[in-house]
Amino acid sequence: MKGTYQIEGPGKLTLRKSPILVTGSCFSTQIGCRLEDEGFAVVANPFGILFNPASIAAALERLDSGRHFTAEDVIVRDGRYVSFHHHGAFARQSPEAFLEEANAALDEACRQWQQTGAVILTLGTSWVFRHLERDIIVANCHKVPAREFRREFLSSEQTVQLLEPLIRRHPEKKWIFTVSPIRHLADGAHGNQISKASLLLAIDELQKRHGETVHYFPSYEILLDELRDYRWYAEDTVHPSQEAVSIICDRFISWITID
């Protein structure tokens, strides 16, 4: 079964031996670790794991501008301080400690962003949560009461609008998209498929508009169309098993060459 899925496009994708930014869902971390094993310099999720296109686009815009996080960005939950732009792994015991850690990570990522030759984006879901008072789409709700948010669905057109300005500004970078094979089942199996379909349509449109710089790797399709059954999932039947992850990462590594 391994090796039967055909990756569309003209041959292999050539990457420079320069830093690669990997950001998005937890599957992006797994790809990043494998690239590091292959000798690439990897900048992995400088704001922590991100699931939706709006938060990923906001993170990239922050890298592009270098604008620091401030006290206005900080929230407190259960005595720990973090922001709606970060994963919970960034939470600290004081607002000063959080800002110091978040901005240090930002400064280092910004420095590497300037040298980055490729950006790998793993999109997880089209569903987002908007904080009503701040009027922002959050990367993580941090267990803030649900009444403070409105749940929204990003259309494929909205996802294109969020990501295309970055692609236009940086034609010197290769933009590699993939859709996370992790299933988001809060809305059931059908809802998960609708969410993934919106992401796939957005990526397809970006490829049509920017065929020289935008590329797609079919992580989602390899798991669903090639591996197929539940033995390729972990016990939660949501995340791919470690063996499935290894197969997909092997396929990715075989797809690229180094310039």
β-bridge partners, 208: none
Phi, psi of 75 (to 5 degrees): -125, 160
Is 105 domain-assigned? Answer: yes
**Angle at alpha carbon of residue 251, lines to 223 and 32, rounded to 5°:** 95
Please say if the pLDDT value at position 257 is more than 60.
Answer: yes
Q: How many domains does the chain have?
A: 1
In a domain, 4, yes or no: no
Considering 1-10, 71-80, 184-193, the range whose residues carry the highest mean pLDDT is: 71-80
What does the mean pLDDT of the chain come to?
87
Residue 18's pLDDT is: 80
- Work out the pLDDT band at 10, boundaries 50, 70, 90: very low
Report d(CA 49, CA 87) in Å as an integer: 6
Considering the domain boundaries, does residue 95 fall inside one? no
Q: What is the mean pLDDT of residues 28-53?
A: 88
Nearest Cα to 213, choosing from 118, 125, 95?
118
Q: State pLDDT tens for residues 149-190.
A: 999 999 999 999 999 999 999 999 999 999 988 766 677 778
| Dihedral in degrees, nearest 10, Cα atoms 173, 86, 252, 204 | -60
In a domain, 76, yes or no: no
Residue, of 123 and 31, whose pLDDT is higher: 123
Q: Tell me how far apart the alpha carbons of residues 47 and 101 are, in angstroms, rounded to a whole number.
A: 10
Report the CATH number at residue 234.
Answer: 3.40.50.1110
Q: How far apart are CA 145 and CA 147, in angstroms?
A: 5
- 199: containing domain: 13-68+101-126+154-258
Which of 119-128, 139-148, 236-245 shows the lowest per-residue confidence on average (mean pLDDT)? Answer: 236-245
Tell me whether residue 73 is in a domain: no
Treating both helix axes as pointing N-terminal to C-terminal, what angle do 26-37 and 242-255 enclose, rounded to 10 degrees?
Answer: 60
pLDDT score at 233:
61
Is the four-CA dihedral 216, 219, 223, 227 of positive or negative sign?
positive
In the prediction, which pLDDT does 244 show?
76
Q: Is residue 116 part of a domain?
A: yes
List, for residues 222-253, the tens digit of each pLDDT value: 877 665 655 556 565 556 677 777 888 888 88
